[in-house]
Structure 1
Amino acid sequence: ADSVAALVRAARKRGASDIHIVAGRPVMVRVTGTLAPLEPRVMTAAEVEAVLLPLVGAGAVLLNTRGYVDLAIDVPDAGRLRGNVSRTQSGLKGSFRLAYPRPPTLDELHLPKEIAKVVNHHQGLVVLAGPSGHGKTTTLAALVDLINESRAHHILTIEDPVEIVHPRKRAVVSQREVGRHTNSFAAALKASLREDPDVIVIGELRDRETVEIAMTAAETGHLVMATMSTPSAAKTIDRLIDMFPPDDQSQVRASLAGALRAIIAMRLLPRADGSGLVSAVELLTGVLPLAALIRDNRLFQLPNLMQRGRAFGMIRLDDSLAELVRAGAIDEDTALRASDNRKELHAVLHPPPAIAPVVKKGLFGRKDER
């Protein structure tokens, strides 16, 4: 445990987001998106086992039967880790995400203030989307903390595993971990509806049954917040609907149209000065025109709605990227690689020069005022 604490402390000092421990290689850390050795010394298979097996604890049964185990642990004087230990050809391997010691604020995450407004809803579905490792869970924890600070609600979370522990504030927060306190997201979600929750937080919408129960909860007076590993708001809506058989999709569209309150799609990008990562954000809010597009299967019109949706607090990804470039937070090449429409973003960043008005002159050099 002491060696793990030393590794985690060293990784945090480097500003790392992840640690990888594998036999035959140095301990590797991910800093601003790139893997690099934490120290030059190569670890043997025996050393890796000596570090990882004490972390697994009771999960050794799962490790031996299925070959891997997910876990979240508190390392004394080093903070909390979320990760995975698995068996490979070269021996045990561990991959860990360095979690925040407490829920962060949206300001600390450098996220736009519009995102905070999604917690003003008292019922409906809010989805945080984005690739794995791009800040969904951390942002979700920040939103839960906003509710915890401001409302005397019952917040029930279902996570795999529990990554950030919420302290006692105004709300009652019950955190449940899949594999330890429940068998599955769907089973815990079913049970949660009998526990008088105001807010239900789902670590990930992975399957049709979980989505179905989540939408039912959102339609029956609960605020449901969840994550999905989808790259954009449009793809998130498509994925939610496509989880169901074709014959059911018309009813699913109607339910989703009524329940959806917001989709926040995130992409973590390296800062221009190499000092860390910053989020570009797409925010789709559940206004009536969006409900009509979902219900009528006209999602091809979503870009036009988002173009007009700034008045409703919507944020297009390209607008977020352009703002980060103008602020000097990211460089233009990074923004263009992250954009879904590079040509349009380039035009936003490089508008054509304004054309000076032509002033006509009269016969004697005076301005013609006709």
Structure 2
Amino acid sequence: MNNSLGRRLSIGGGDYFTVKQNFNTFFMTTTENLTINRILNAVAERKATDVHFVVGNNPIIRINGQLTDLADEEVINPEFLESLINFFAGEDKLEILKKKKEIKFAFNWLDKARFRVYIFKQKGYYSISLKLVPQQVRSLEEIGLAKAVAGFCRSKRGLIFVSGPFNSGRSSTMSAMIDFINKNIGGRILSFEEPIEQIFINQKSMIEQREVGQDVDSFSQGLASIKDEDVDVVAVSKVDSIESLELILELAESGRLVMAMVDYDSAISCLEGLISDFPQSKKQWAQDVIADYLVSIIVQRLVPTVQGGMVLAVEILIGSSSVKSLIKEGRYGNVESIIQTSRAEGMISLDYSLAELVRTGKIAQAEAIKQAVKPQVLMASLKKQ
């Protein structure tokens, strides 16, 4: 290959920069390189979770849930953004970006940090969002879920859904569950991720991580390919289609433990949403499979504390016999009542979890109300004590 050859990549309204065929060579000034490394160093040192690069704005970082401008840095112009894209993306990724106008991948920076990179187009220009990936997998104990979730991970088969909004710690919980199984139980674990964030080392388990867009074309294609494979645990970082969801249920039916990340804000909305996605001809089947194989639904929030950090609030629904019966009958409102009255069995509602955080002085009442599924339930819980 002739490394002197280049090509043009259209960013925004025109052709802005040349990318060498050897993607290790970047057209970047020393000043630009220093700026990028200074920003990434600030992200790591200030324990930010995210950084955003948008044309016309200063770089923006998120610390303890709050967005903050890096006011000392210059406003981002198209040329600097082009250098950023060159810095993060290789030749193969630039080809995908040119075709699809967006791409997600993981990026290791100087052995100091690992980022999940999302490059996308808005208002005619590309923007970049980075999420800092923890350098080490946090254990279930460290994230405060050991007592509740470790037992779910010991299940031989079934469905575990980890739900919540963006930036709620779902990826950390999924990684912690895989880590727990790897260290304590064993088996063959297959994950489908977009992109791969944490890299696992085999201990008691054999772990294979497949990246969507690189190792498989889609979640559904990857899931379909393992239906007849020797696999004990399947982890899915995104349920992106009804085809993927159907395959997840089929894998649980076939005797695998399947852990999947979804986007609902409560256990009840998760149940309703998963089943309502199916066409009428398959709704009863989906309802029956979820009822028969549900291990747990874990719903999360990361809530700002009064001391400036973040704390986990959680809702846990367990697939008990009474819960399974109600799901089969489609009586989801009654499932909510069971969550609220079954704390002795390990279930907890998100609103009760928030109320406990208020009672212990970890979060402000106003913040709890903002995060609550049903603020009136939260307030009623607070008035009881």
Q: CA deviation at 1:66?
A: 2.1
**Cα distance change on mapping 1:259 and 1:37 into 2, 3 Å:** same
Selected match of 1:33 from 65, 80, 85: 65
1:168-247 matches, within 5 Å, as: 168-247=202-281
Question: Using the alignment, how far apart are the partners of 1:175 and 1:116 within structure 2?
Answer: 22
Deviation, 1:3, is 4.9
Quote the offset at 1:2 in angstroms: 6.3
- Give the distance between the partners of 2:362 and 2:35, measured in 1 at CA: 36
Deviates more, 1:88-97 or 1:291-300: 88-97
The TM-score normalised by the length of structure 2 is: 0.87
Counterpart amino acid of 1:22? V
Aligned-pair CA distance for 1:248: 2.0
* Post-superposition CA distance 1:37-57 (Å, at most 9, x none): 234222322122112223121
Q: Which residue of 2 aligns with 1:17?
A: 49
Paired residue for 1:108, among 107, 119, 142?
142
5+ long unaligned stretches in structure 1: 353-370
How big is each residue's C-alpha offset from its partner over 1:80-136, in whole Å with a ceiling of 9 and x where there is no partner? Answer: 111211234463311011011121112322336212221011100000011122111
Say whether the 8 Å CA contact 2:140–2:180 is kept in structure 1: no
- How far did residue 227 of structure 1 move? 0.5
Deviates more, 1:104-113 or 1:245-254: 104-113
Provide the residue aligned with 1:336 in structure 2: 369
User: 1:350 is aligned with what amino acid?
Assistant: K
Q: Work out whether residues 220 and 244 of structure 2, in 8 Å CA contact, stay in contact via their aligned partners in 1.
A: yes
Aligned-residue offset at 1:273: 1.1
Q: Which amino acid aligns with 2:115?
A: L
Q: Deviations over 1:225-270 (max 9, x none)?
A: 0010111101111111111112321222111111111000011111
1:325 counterpart residue number: 358
**Partner amino acid for 2:189?**
I
Give me the whole-angstrom Cα distance separating, in 1, the residues matched to 2:133 and 2:369: 29
Structure 2 residue aligned with 1:312 = 345
| Residue of structure 1 equivalent to 2:15 | none
Partner of 2:7: none
Specify the alignment match of 2:180 in structure 1: 146
In structure 2, what residue type is equivalent to 1:186? S
Structure 2 vs 1, CA of residues 272 and 112 (structure 1 numbering), >3 Å: closer, same or farther? farther
Structure having the higher Rg = 1
Paired with 2:256 and 2:305, the residues of 1 have a C-alpha distance of 38
Q: Give yes or no for contact 1:115–1:283 (8 Å, CA) kept in 2.
A: no
State the number of aligned residues.
351
- Whole-Å separation in 2 of the counterparts to 1:103 and 1:3: 29
> Are 2:200 and 1:166 equivalent residues in the alignment?
yes
CA distance in 2, matches of 1:334, 1:81: 29
CA distance 1:123–1:4, shift in 2 (3 Å): farther
Distance 1:169 1:102 in 2: 15
> Conserved in 2, the CA contact under 8 Å of 1:72 and 1:161?
yes
Contact persistence 2:138–2:172 (CA under 8 A): yes
* Residues 158 and 177, structure 1, Cα contact 8 Å, conserved in 2: yes
User: Residue 107 of structure 1: SS of its match in structure 2?
Assistant: helix
1:39-78 equivalences under 5 Å are: 39-41=71-73, 42-57=75-90, 58-78=92-112
Q: 1:95 maps to what in 2?
A: 129
